[in-house]
Amino acid sequence: MSQRKSAKRLKLLDRNSSKRLGILAILLSLIFVILWFLMIWMPGKSYGNTTLQPLTAEEVSLSQTLEQDIAILAEGSRSNPESLETAAQYIEKRFSDAGLTTKRQTYTIGTESYSNVIAEIPGQEHPEQIILVGAHYDTAYTTPGANDNASGVAATLALAERFGPNQGGTKPARTVRFVAFVNEEPPFFHTDNMGSLVYARQAKADGDKILAMLSLETLGYYSDEPGSQKYPSPLNWLYPDIGNFIAFIGDVGSRKLVRTSIHDWRDKVEFPSEGAALPRGIPGIGWSDHWSFWQMGYPAVMVTDTATYRDPHYHTDDDLLEYIDGDRMVRVVKGLGQLVSDFIGQPAA
């Protein structure tokens, strides 16, 4: 009799355990689905043709301009006040050549002065609404920083030229602002002296209505080799292992901007793309100037070739112009022109 009771109790326990495990499995599945749609799912389909069309005459010209800007900026490291000032003056000249008026946001660290360099085209219908495109112009340590981040600066300069008065007098509905940030790299990275954080704090204090911030970070390295693309775990299970795409990365709070950017890109640009809106704690998600704008509550996205997760020359003295894939970078910059055009309400040329 006691054996029958024990067997019955075990059977009930097994049944209850199975029920609890089933409920747990359902809950975990629901959580996974919710997280998938919140952070991983992106609209549209990445461009899948790896055989890109030959460059047009316009694209060849743009590629030459990008190469020239990168070559000049990457002549040496940009990690001390003197070299940073030389770079800032060059950026000012290039903005001026595009027909834009420039200004500086200068601040001091100890006895040294550092400057963010700014140019903008005021909006005609909603001048208070700002689309900001930015890239840091300093380098890590002694590196020449061709990809990190002369490529991002060159792209910013090209976009300023694309929309500047000298290219036909763009009259956007919203204001488009171009900013070259100082002091993104160590020892200022994620500190109060990071140039983009200085800028974002002042923008917040001034009440600037920044609708979108695009941080252009390492745009020039691509590979078609399997295994060329790495990720922080567990993202390696979710994305391709070939580093031939451009990525749009934001935090969960910027997921609307990430999705809008990806949707527009995949709809109009023939270049592979991936996107994600992820928790800030994942390594690499906040490793550039977009992080500063998150701190002030602005939506911001990093546009990147994923830097250290792809480029073997990242933060080394081999970060040279010769490793920049000019054919692919020019397509990315042209695509960014389309994206910014749509954001500011200006028809693309």
pLDDT, tens digit, for every residue of 294-317? 999 999 999 999 999 999 999 999
Which pLDDT band, with edges at 50, 70 and 90, does 41 fall under? confident
d(CA 169, CA 162): 10
pTM (2 d.p.): 0.89
- pLDDT at residue 22, rounded to an integer: 61
Q: Positive or negative, the Cα torsion across 341, 345, 348, 349? A: negative
- pLDDT at residue 30, rounded to an integer: 47
- pLDDT at residue 258, rounded to an integer: 97
Which pLDDT band, with edges at 50, 70 and 90, does 18 fall under? low
Q: Which residues contact 254 (CB under 8 A, 6 or more apart)?
A: 277, 290, 294, 299, 300, 301
Residue 20's SS3 state is: helix
- pLDDT at residue 165, rounded to an integer: 87
Contact 207, 295 (CB under 8 A): no
Q: Where are the beta strands (DSSP E) in 226-285?
A: 246-251, 273-278
Q: Residue ranges per domain, the chain?
A: 42-344
The rounded Cα 298 to chain-centroid distance in angstroms is 14
Q: Please give the structure tokens belonging to residue 121.
A: 């085209």
Q: Report the topology of domain 42-344.
A: Aminopeptidase (3.40.630)
Number of CB atoms found within 10 A of residue 338's CB: 17
pLDDT, tens digit, for every residue of 90-146? 999 999 999 999 999 999 999 999 999 999 999 999 999 999 999 999 999 999 999
Give 135's strand partners: 180
pLDDT, tens digit, for every residue of 219-256? 999 999 999 999 998 888 899 999 999 999 999 999 99
